[in-house]
Every structure is written in C-alpha cells, then in structure tokens.
Chains A and B, each alone.
Chain A
Amino acid sequence: MLVINCPVCGVEGEEADFHCGGEAHIARPATTNPEGISDEAQRDYIYLRKNPKGVHFERWRCDRGCGKWFHACRHTVSMEFLGYYGITERPPAELLKQADPIWQEFFKARGQETKS
C-alpha cells in the first residue's frame, strides 16, 4: 500500500484513495492527425508500454480527494515516489535526469526541451 501526495489539492493519502492511470506522456495520434495513422502507430499507441525497471513516469488520479489527474515519478523497484507534476506538464529536468534511459531517449526523440 503506497503513500501518495496529490500535487493539486495537497492531500497525503493511501494508494486506495488514488487510481493509477498507467504510463504517462502517451501521445494520442488521432488528436493531432486523425487521417494519417499507420496500423503500427495505432497498435503501439494502444498496446505498447515501456515498463522500465527503474524510475518511471505515470498518471494518477486523486480519486477520493479533488478528483484531479496528475503526473507522478515513481521508482518501480523501490516504489519510492521521487516527485509529482501537473497533468499537462512535462517532467521537470531533475526528475528526467534520474529517469530510466528509455524515458530520456523518448523525450530526446520528441525533440522538445523539458521545462526545468
């Protein structure tokens, strides 16, 4: 049973008070370009996940608190939460630095600078 802090309303709660929405920063192809999506791109969007053994970015919802979604940075082995950030934000630089290499490649490939 994890202890989680909601960055939106500030409540500290038990895992059962929250809901995990899985991997963060999955871009939905149809939102930007509904016409030009290959079968492979659609398959990867629906089914392919990173599943790193290490520092990971996830979506969580403060189910029994404010009801808001947020991003969390969690180590998948030690279960430690390293930090939280807004649902529309990219990971802060100091969290990205600690993240699994698969995430660093991911953001590099996107070619976008992260906020610090």
Chain B
Amino acid sequence: MSNNPYRVPTAGIGDDVGRLIDPKKQIDFRWNGNKFAGFEGDTLASALFANGIRVVGRSFKYHRPRGVVGLASDEPNALVGVGSGNLQEPNLRASQVELYQGLEAKAQNAWPSVDFDIGQMNSIFSRFFPAGFYYKTFMWPQSFWKNVYEPIIRRAAGLGVAPGGADPDTYEQFNCHCDVLIVGGGVAGLAAAQAASASGARVIIADENPQFGGIGDIAGGSIENQPQTAWIRETAAALAQAENVHLMTRTTVVGHYHHNFVMMHERVADHDPALLRSGAPRHRLWKVRAKKSIVASGALERPIPFANNDRPGVMLSTSVRGHLIRYGVAPGYRGTIFTNNDDAYRTATALVQAGVSVARIIDVRPEANGPLAEEAEKAGIQISTGMAICGLEASVGGKQIKSVRIAPYSGSGRVSGAEEEIRCDFVAVSGGWNPAVHIHCHNGGKLDFDEGLQSFVPRPHDDPMQTIGAANGTFGLQAILQEAYQAGEAGGQSSKSAKAGAGKAPAAESVSENALQPIWFAPATGKYNEGNKHFIDYQNDVTAADLELAQREGFESVEHTKRYTTLGMATDQGKTSNIVGLGVLSGSTGKAIPEIGTTTFRPPYTPFSLGSIAGTQKGSLFHVVRRTAVFDWHGENGAVWEPIGDWRRAYCYPRGDEDKHAAINREILTVREKVGILDASTLGKIEIKGPDAGALLDRIYTNTFSTLKPGRGRYGLMMNEMGFLFDDGVTVCLAESHYLMHTTSGGAERIAAWLEEWLQTEWTDMQVFVTPVTEQWSQFAIAGPKARALLEKLEGDVDFSPEALPFMGCVAGTIEGCQARVFRISFSGELSYEIAVPSNNGRVFWEKLLEAGEEFGVEPYGTEPLHVLRAEKGFIAIGDESDGTVTPLDLGLNWAVSKKKADYIGKRALELPHLSDENRKELVGLLTDDPNEVLPDGAYAVAQVKDKPPMDMIGQVTSTYWSPTLNRSIAMALIEKGRSRMGEKISFPLEGGKTVKAEIVSPVFYDQEGARQNV
C-alpha cells in the first residue's frame, strides 16, 4: 500500500483531478494523536481518505463505524473535534475543516477508540433498542432518572465534549445594511450578484465554502463557451474588483428573520490560526439588514436507503465526484454507483477517467439513455437498469465493504428475483435533489411539492426575498442564469441610486438529463431485521424500521414521528434525511408526500459558535452594573453584595469572623437600640411638576394626593388596570404643583414610563412634566432612637425637632454645605429620616453621617436587615407580599384605597367578582410553635396534612425571617380568608416529611401602636 492509499496518482495536475490541492506543499496534521500528512487545499475529510482512513466516527446510538458521506455542510456522519483543552471545538464536519499545519483532530463518540468501540454492543443488541426505547424503558422509578438512567445514557450516547475552560479567542459582531444580500455563491448567486451590482446597488454575497462556485466545478456544461470553473473564477474576480460588492467566503447564512434581517456566521480564522495571533477574531457574527435578499443556496443530494447503507464507503454521488475532482481522492479502488437519475453517471465517468474502477452502475429506472449514459457506456462501464441494491456485505465489524447484492426492482417498490453479487469497496448513491429551502422557510416561507423533482420547492415569500436556481428547483444551467439575472436586476433596483440594468444573462450550454424515478427505500432481501438496517437519519441513527414502528404505534403526524424517532433532529437538521424520511412514511401510510407535509425548518442552517453570539459582551462587558455614589465605600468596608435590578446593593457588612447571620442580627439591633444608616440611593425618584400634577397622582395612586400640603408626604399604592398592586412608595409635595415620587428600586424606570404612557395616551390634556431623577440624588436613611441626636450634630439650617419636622414631613435646606432634601419617613418603624443630597456629594455626606454618629454607636446596615426590620413591623415589600395577582385589599391596605375618588387606575377592577370574592387569600402574620423554626420562603399551607400529595393548598409564606428584636422566628403569609382565622393553627408540610405548625396572628409583630417612629 502506498503512502496515500486513496489519492489518485494524477491528483493536482491540471484542473480535472485534485484542482484545489497543491501536491508540492505538504501539510502535517494529527488524527487521534497520530501524525499524518496531506496537501495544501485538502479538507480533513480528503486528507483522511488520502491516508486510507475511512472510519472517522461512531454513530450516536448503535456506535456503528461511520465514514464521510457528504461533500460540505450536509455531512451527517463525520463529526470531529478539533483542537484541545480550552481551544477544542466539538462537532465540526470533517468535510468543512480545512487542513493547516499542526491541525489536531479526533473522532468523537467512541470509547476506548474509534476502531474498537465498546458501545458497538448496542448494535448487537439493537433489536432491544427500537424507536422510543428510552421513553419505554427508563420510566420507573422516577428517582432513578437523576442518579442511574440519565448518567448512563449521557455517557453512552452523545456527540463531542464541550471544551474545557474559558475560551481565550476573541469574537465580534458586525451590523450592516445592504441593498441586495445573496445567500450562496454558486453559479446562480454569482450571476445574481453580477446583475445586481451593475445597477450600482450595494451587494453582499456570502458562501459557506472557502471558494465560490458551488458545485459548478463538477457539474459539467459551459458558460459563454468556457468551462464553468473558468467563468466562476472570472466572475468572482470581477465582482471582487467592484466597489459596491462585498464577497464573503467561509460565511454561512445561518438565519433569516423578520424584515429581511439576516444573520451570517463568518469563520475568520478557523482555517489559519496564525490569523488569531495577528489579532483577528476567530468568528464574526454579521447582522445584516437587506432591502432585498436572494437565496441561491443550491440543492442537497439525497441518498437512497438500502440495507447497511451506513457502512464507511457508502457516500453521496456528488461527494465522491467532488472529492475526486477537488482533492484527487477516491473512497476506494472499486466502486459501484446506485442511482435513480442521470447525474450519477457523471460520477462514474469521472472515476474511470481518473483511473478508479467502477464495477457497475445500478439504475432503478427501466432504461438508461441520453448523453450521460452514453458517455459512461463509452468509458466501458457496465450498467444494470431496473435493479436496486438489496444487500451489502462488509468485513466483521463493518469497517470495510466487500460487495453489494443487487436484484430486479419494480416500480412498486419491491425487490425480487435473481440476485447478483458485485465485488466493490465503495458505493456512490444518488436519489435525486432536494432544494435547500431552509433559509426560505426560517421566517415562515411556504413550500409546494414538485412532482418532477419529488421534493419541495419554495412558494413566493411575503418578505422581499426571492429564491433562485437549484434552491428554487431550477436545474438547467441556462434557466438558472436567466432566473439569477432577473432576480439580481430586480434586486438592484431597490437601491436608491439605481442605474440601468445589466443586460442579458450569459449564454450557457449543458447536456439534457432524463427524469428521475422516485425511490425512497430499497428493501433488503432475506432477514428484514437485525444486521439489515436501512438508515434514514445517520446522525441520530434513525432507520426505516423505526419510522414504520412509529406509524404502527400511532405517531402518525409527521411532527409526532419526528419527535418520537428523532428523525431530522440532529445537528445537521436532517439535510440528507428529511425528504427521504417523508418518502418512507409515504410508502408505509399510503399517503402522498405533500399530504404528510414537512416539519419546520428552524435557524440555524448549520450549528455555529456560542462565542460569536456572545461577541465582545463577556467578562466585565457582559452586563452593566449600576453603582451608587457610595458603592466603593461599601466594598472597602466588607459589604456582601446583593443584585437588585442592575444595581449592586450592600446586603450586610460582616465584621471580623462574623458570618452573614451574625452581621444581620447585629445591624438590626443597632437600628432598634442605637442608630443605623442605609444607602437607599437606588430608590426610584421621579419629579412630577405642572398644574395637573396632583390630579395625575390621584389617578395613579389608590389614595388621594391632591390634598397634600407642601412639606408633607404620604405613602401610596399603585395598581394596574386589573386591580393588582404593582408598586408603592412615599410621594412628597415639595411645593405647589411640584411633587417628588419615590418608587421601589426595581420600578424606577417602569413607573416613569407608566406615568408617561397615561399622560400621552389617555389624559392627553393634563399639563404635567415627569422627570426621572434617581441618579441625581444620593439618599440615605438614618434610623434608630439616636437618629435625631446624630443629625443635630451636623452643621446646617435644617431643624430636626419633632415640631419643625413631624412624621411624614419634608423640608429642603443645606447640611454640611450640601444641598439637601430631608424626609421624615420610616421603613423600619424607628425614628427615621431620609436625606437626599446631590450624587456628587454622596460619599462625603455618607462619611459625615458616620463621623457624627460615632459617639452614638452608628453602623451601616444592609438590605437584608432592612427587610427584617420592615417585616417585624408588618410592612409589605413589592415582589414578596405582591406577585402580580394580589390586590391592596388582599394585603389589608384598605385604609390606603380611596372609596371617595371617582376614578383611579384599577378602581373598577377591584369590584369585579373574582377580586371581591370573600375566599381570597389575605395577608396574615405567622408565629411558629417552635420559635427557633424559621419557615422556608414560599412554603405552602395545607388544609389537612396527608401522607403524600395532593393536599389542598390554602396559602403560602411570603416573607420569613429570624427576628433578633423578638428573639424568635416571624413570617408573613397569604392565607385563604386569613383575617378571619386569627389564632388558628395551620400546617406547612415541608420536604422530607416534616410538618411545621404555626399560629395565625397580626402581621405587625413589633410596636403595633407605631409609637417608636412618632417621637
């Protein structure tokens, strides 16, 4: 055996065989750790063929040996991992991996090795692994799923492994606009680009392959009296010169979305890692908005399933021909061709001309005539018509094909009569062509069945998108060029500065081809079961028998069949298998293919990297963090952070070896006994100004604000029109017709937009300005019995005495040289002030407060102590006590819900039957029987505890804390008819069989009279 077992001797000489490789330039690479060599221009697939390697992977379910099937992105089998460690990328198609010096690739889904795989036992026992096997077998007990079944299944079935560690490469995203976007750079795409660019339109043409031309180089025929390859080369070169055309190779159009939004994935440096070192991104994701898109994505050859059609060496006919002409490799020494159409004869003739022997052309059609058949006959190739492959013999283990058996085939799908055995080591199969309609379908494009092609073709799209060429079911070369020119010219006119058109499409010549004969399945003779699998979907190991089983078990809809058998659900999204699968279903149900229908084609066309989706938005750029003016101080003083919206707030400040619980308890007691300060700057602040400001507030809040006097504040509740509570806070009247609204931290933007919406759309005659000022002010709470004493130490003109500044009063002034707004409001139940200063002064003012409070034992407190303090007082928190289905009345806040006002948002809804129902859940307090037992958040109360669910649920815990003030646990809960059940004991069954009992009490646990805040 020579060094290059399957490399044709004349490879790389001239344009006919191995036209893409340069035999003078050797490229070294590693496959499964072993050193090999290929040539510049090779793909991993062709280089492996050249080295005599045909088994490149193991199948998903049965672990059968598998080889290369397709020519490019349609490859279902040869999925490989490239690179190692954190640079490893799994599931790349070997036929798309370009060879470079030092490439490291390995086979996937094989253990211990691709040549000897233990999982192949699945194949021997495959009669026990039919469709739906996992659903049927691994059902009980449920607890076995997590610990037993799933880990085993995950290890045995799967594709490549995820890379280890963070990806060090860079990725980027581009946004751009163009007049015409052309998807696919084959002959149709290039011609469309030529026509579109002539008018001056901005054109982008993208192709997933490294070179333009599609399969023009292996399709025969001529354009303008020269071979297609020459026309392709010249046209692409001319387009590259044009300033208004952007040509992109190695760029896959992965998705098409509304309004001609197109996503393209460019593999910038995969073929040459040296580019990465020069600073190039590895991949680039393009987001293109095209005025017009032209889809020239070509067609995908489909196989004909026959017994053991997955053996390495069974390939698509164009893949064999493409590997031969482009890379000078053949999959073996002696091939057979199995076809239902004329195109496969080209493959046979090309093989013989390159010196590879062809044992037989097996054509299911009763006759073979026409120019392509004549040419093959002239080349001395034997043709058997009206025959089909009915068996394939391979070596033990299935890695080497030895022969195929053929038998007479009748149009009704039966194989019978005298069989003949043909010795060969590879098989090229062609079952016809499926237009690549994926991009057309992504945004809802519809399909029609074409009887001549026996496949689906696009119906005109609602979007400014047109499909041309083979993707549109147009196959004659001249017809393709004409269609492309018309589309290109029409697309070019979408440019604002369009000039005159391009003129006539180039003239082309190609040989005529006879119609194909549909065949979806060549049944095996002999035992029709184990050892005779007819694979439809290689990547997910779905066989014709699986599809038929699904039908028998009642999964009749194609969508059900798909999900039950996983047909077409692998990473190739059924490129080679979907239509064949429909054909098999058609045969087994007796329904025509269009009656069965297709499943949905969804983006992406081929898998692409997560890195390119993230782009540069990773690490510190992943998500914006909003910081208050005191953010750094919190960090310097040991704050534990809590994310609230985009903000980071101090959760608590552990000291020394304190844990969080100890810190929280200490901070709470500091507020109750001395004085604490809180950074409340994240609170939403909205200024509302204008003659109708008070009237607007009366409509927005459940209670009345127009009566509020300057210098006074009021707590208000907001409902939506459904009557559900969705924000709360204190709004103060700063001056006549000038209010400052406080919202929850998370609600600031939402509420400002809410006010704007009502002003712009409903009460359009109101004269009010709404101005969000959250970031303009730093705001601090000073809470505790010593709060006034602390503030009175500060220099300034504000009188903090209870007479000058009573509870719910507000005043503006100057403190320590800072402009300040002082509000006497309390969320802790203690004597409490909130002071707002301009954000620029925030940190200085915060430190002044600490300095002034030192003698009183002041400490900062975080958001968790804040929550415990408010819960001890029975104050609600939006998002805890409310969840979008809770009304103010449910929470017992009737005192804040006006009966007098004629209209405010949500008022009428509160009277709807389901909101005034007497069985609604109501807010109550809970005291557990064991004071040390803190109920879990969200725990369910039940009417009666039973051995196991279901139990009747009567409510749930909304807030639950350890209260250091009361030295016991406290909780609030929403319980059915809760307010009428005071003193009743209810039960909370928890995980693990434990039940906690608690007494229903008032939700105000501490200082029920409110004496502490009113001093």
Contacts and interface: CB of A to CB of B under 8 A. Distances in A.
Interface of A: 1-3, 15, 19, 21, 28-31, 34-35, 37, 39, 42-43, 45-46, 59, 61, 67-69, 77-80, 87-88
Kindly list the 10 A-B residue pairs having the minimum CB-CB distance in the complex, ordered from nearest.
A34-B903, A78-B462, A1-B261, A69-B760, A30-B903, A34-B902, A3-B259, A79-B258, A42-B908, A2-B259
A59 B762 CA distance: 12
30 contacts: A1-B259, A1-B261, A2-B258, A2-B259, A28-B721, A28-B762, A30-B908, A31-B763, A34-B903, A34-B907, A34-B908, A35-B902, A37-B908, A39-B911, A39-B912, A39-B913, A43-B912, A46-B909, A61-B753, A61-B757, A67-B756, A69-B756, A69-B760, A77-B444, A77-B462, A78-B462, A79-B258, A79-B462, A80-B462, A87-B764
Nearest to A15: B258
A1 B908 contact: no
A63 B909 CA distance: 29
Contacts of A15: 258
A67 B756 CA distance: 9
Contacts of B903: 30-31, 34
B147 interface: no
Interface in B453-502: 462-463
Given A3-B259, A45-B721, A46-B721, 6 more contacts: A39-B911, A43-B912, A67-B756, A68-B760, A69-B761, A79-B259
Contacts of B257: 1
Contacts of A30: 903, 907-908
B798 interface: no
A51 to B, nearest CB: 18
Interface of B: 257-259, 261, 289, 444, 462-463, 721-722, 753, 756-757, 760-764, 902-903, 907-909, 911-913
Contacts of B753: 19, 61
A2 B463 CA distance: 12
A87 B902 contact: no
B761 A59 contact: yes
A72 to B, nearest CB: 13
Nearest to A70: B760
Contacts of B764: 87-88
Contacts of B721: 28, 45-46
Nearest to B764: A88
Contacts of B462: 77-80
Given A1-B261, A35-B902, A69-B760, A29 B908 contact: yes
A88 B759 CA distance: 11
Contacts of A34: 902-903, 907-908
Nearest to A67: B756
B664 to A, nearest CB: 39
A34 B898 CA distance: 14
Contact of B722 (A46, A68, A77, A88): A46
Contacts, number: 60
Nearest to B756: A67
Contacts of B909: 42, 46
A9 B814 CA distance: 41
B766 to A, nearest CB: 12
Contacts of A29: 908
Nearest to B721: A46
B902 A69 contact: no
B258 A69 contact: no
A78 B753 CA distance: 30
Contacts of A88: 764
A103 to B, nearest CB: 18
A113 to B, nearest CB: 20
Name the residue among B258, B907, B913 with the largest chain A CB count within 10 angstroms. B258
Contact of A42 (B259, B289, B757, B912): B912
A23 to B, nearest CB: 12
A45 to B, nearest CB: 8
B908 A3 contact: no
Nearest to A21: B757
Nearest to A34: B903
A2 B762 CA distance: 27
Given A35-B902, A39-B912, A87 B289 contact: no
A48 B781 CA distance: 45
Nearest to A39: B912
Contacts of B760: 68-69, 87
A58 B706 CA distance: 33
Contacts of A59: 761
A31 B908 CA distance: 11
B898 to A, nearest CB: 12
Contacts of A39: 911-913
A37 B903 CA distance: 12
Name the residue among A46, A67, A87 with the largest chain B CB count within 10 angstroms. A46
Nearest to A71: B761
Name the residue among A28, A80, A88 with the largest chain B CB count within 10 angstroms. A28
A87 B258 contact: no
Contacts of A87: 760-761, 764
B913 A31 contact: no
Contacts of B757: 21, 61, 69
A87 B762 CA distance: 10
A61 B750 CA distance: 13
A85 to B, nearest CB: 13
Nearest to B904: A30
Contacts of B763: 31
B704 to A, nearest CB: 15
Contacts of B913: 39
A46 B906 CA distance: 10
